[in-house]
Chain A
Amino acid sequence: MADQDNFTRRELIQLTAAAAIAGSAAPAGFANEQAPKFFSKDEFAMVDELTELIIPNDEHSPGARAAQVAVYLDGRLAESFEDEPKYHWREGLSRINALSQAMHGRAFMQATPEQRMALLTRIASNEEKPETPEEHFFRELKGSTAHAYYTSKIGIHQEMEYKGNVLLQEFTGYEVK
Chain B
Amino acid sequence: MSLFFSPDRPNANDVDLKRVYDAIVVGSGAAGGMAAHVLTSHGMKVLLLEAGKKLNINKELKSMEWPYDHPRRGDIPPDTHALNRNEYNFRARPYAKGMPYSHVYNYVEGWTGGDYSKNIVVDEKDNPYTGTNYAWVRARCLGGKTNIWGRLALRLSDYDFKGKSHDGYGEDWPISYQDLAPYYDKVDLYLGISGHKENLPYLPDSLFQRAIRLTKSEMMLRESLAKMGRVLTPYRAGVTTDGLKHNKYRSRCFGRGACERRTGGCDIHAAFDSPTGLIYPALDTGNLTIRTNATAYEVTVDPDSGKARGVAFVDTDTGKTYEARARAVVLAASTLESARLLLLSKSKTYPNGIGNSSGHVGHNFCEHLMGPGVTGIVKDLVGKPRTLDDGRPGGFYVPRFRNLKDRNPNFIRAYGFEGSSGNKMFPSSALWAKGFGSSYEKQVRDYAGAFIEMGGFGEVLARYENYVDIDPEVKDKWGIPALRFHYKFGDNEKKMAADMSAAAREMFEEAGVEIVEVNREIRTEGWSIHELGTARMGTDPKTSVLNQFQQSHDVKNLLMVDGSSHVSASCQNPTWTIMSLAWRSCDHLADLMRKGEA
What residues of chain A have their CB less than 8 Å away from a CB belonging to chain B?
2, 10-11, 13-15, 17-19, 21-30, 53-56, 58, 60, 63, 72, 75-76, 79-81, 120, 124, 127-128, 142-143, 146-148, 150-153, 156, 159-176
A11 → chain B closest CB, angstroms = 8
Residues of A contacting B: mostly: loop
A18 and chain B: residue at smallest CB distance? B268
Q: List 21 A-B contacts (CB under 8 A).
A: A13-B3, A14-B5, A15-B254, A21-B7, A53-B437, A60-B442, A76-B72, A124-B435, A147-B430, A153-B66, A156-B68, A162-B386, A165-B256, A166-B388, A167-B255, A170-B255, A171-B210, A171-B255, A173-B212, A173-B216, A176-B222
Q: Are A172 and B213 in contact (CB under 8 A)?
A: yes
B60 and chain A: residue at smallest CB distance? A25
Return chain B residues, CB-CB under 8 Å to A24: 59
| Cα(A170)–Cα(B65), bound, Å | 21
| Cα(A173)–Cα(B235), bound, Å | 13
Return chain B residues, CB-CB under 8 Å to A159: 441, 445
Return chain A residues, CB-CB under 8 Å to B254: 2, 15, 167-169
| Cα(A68)–Cα(B216), bound, Å | 35
Q: A27-B70, A176-B233 are in contact. Are A164 and B78 (CB under 8 A)?
A: no
A161 and chain B: residue at smallest CB distance? B386
What are the 7 tightest A-B residue pairs by CB atom distance, in nearest-first order?
A173-B213, A14-B5, A168-B255, A151-B67, A163-B388, A54-B436, A21-B58
* Neighbour of A81 across the interface among B101, B196, B234, CB < 8 A: B101
Return chain B residues, CB-CB under 8 Å to A168: 254-256, 391
In the complex, B114 has a CB within 8 A of chain A: no
Return chain B residues, CB-CB under 8 Å to A174: 213-216, 218-219
A173 → chain B closest CB, angstroms = 3
Return chain B residues, CB-CB under 8 Å to A18: 5, 7, 58, 251, 267-268
Q: Are A171 and B69 in contact (CB under 8 A)?
A: no
Q: A18-B267, A164-B390 are in contact. Are A171 and B251 (CB under 8 A)?
A: no
In the complex, B155 has a CB within 8 A of chain A: no
Can you add 13 more A-B contacts, CB < 8 Å, to A11-B252, A76-B78?
Answer: A14-B251, A22-B267, A27-B71, A56-B437, A58-B441, A81-B81, A146-B430, A163-B386, A164-B389, A165-B261, A166-B391, A173-B218, A174-B215
Return chain B residues, CB-CB under 8 Å to A147: 73, 430
B434 and chain A: residue at smallest CB distance? A127
Q: Are B438 and A14 in contact (CB under 8 A)?
A: no
| Cα(A17)–Cα(B252), bound, Å | 14
Q: Are B219 and A171 in contact (CB under 8 A)?
A: no
Return chain B residues, CB-CB under 8 Å to A21: 7, 58-59, 267
Q: Are A22 and B251 in contact (CB under 8 A)?
A: no
B61 and chain A: residue at smallest CB distance? A22
Return chain B residues, CB-CB under 8 Å to A19: 64
In the complex, B423 has a CB within 8 A of chain A: yes
* Neighbour of B268 across the interface among A14, A29, A175, CB < 8 A: A14
Return chain A residues, CB-CB under 8 Å to B234: 176
In the complex, B4 has a CB within 8 A of chain A: yes
Q: Are A171 and B391 in contact (CB under 8 A)?
A: yes
In the complex, B164 has a CB within 8 A of chain A: no
Q: Are A165 and B64 in contact (CB under 8 A)?
A: yes
| Cα(A30)–Cα(B69), bound, Å | 9
B392 → chain A closest CB, angstroms = 5
Q: Are A171 and B392 in contact (CB under 8 A)?
A: yes
Residues of B1-22 at the interface with A, using a CB-CB cut-off of 8 Å, are: 3-7
B273 → chain A closest CB, angstroms = 14
| Cα(A55)–Cα(B441), bound, Å | 7
| Cα(A174)–Cα(B211), bound, Å | 11
Return chain B residues, CB-CB under 8 Å to A30: 71
| Cα(A172)–Cα(B233), bound, Å | 16
B521 → chain A closest CB, angstroms = 19
Return chain B residues, CB-CB under 8 Å to A151: 67-68, 73-74, 112, 426
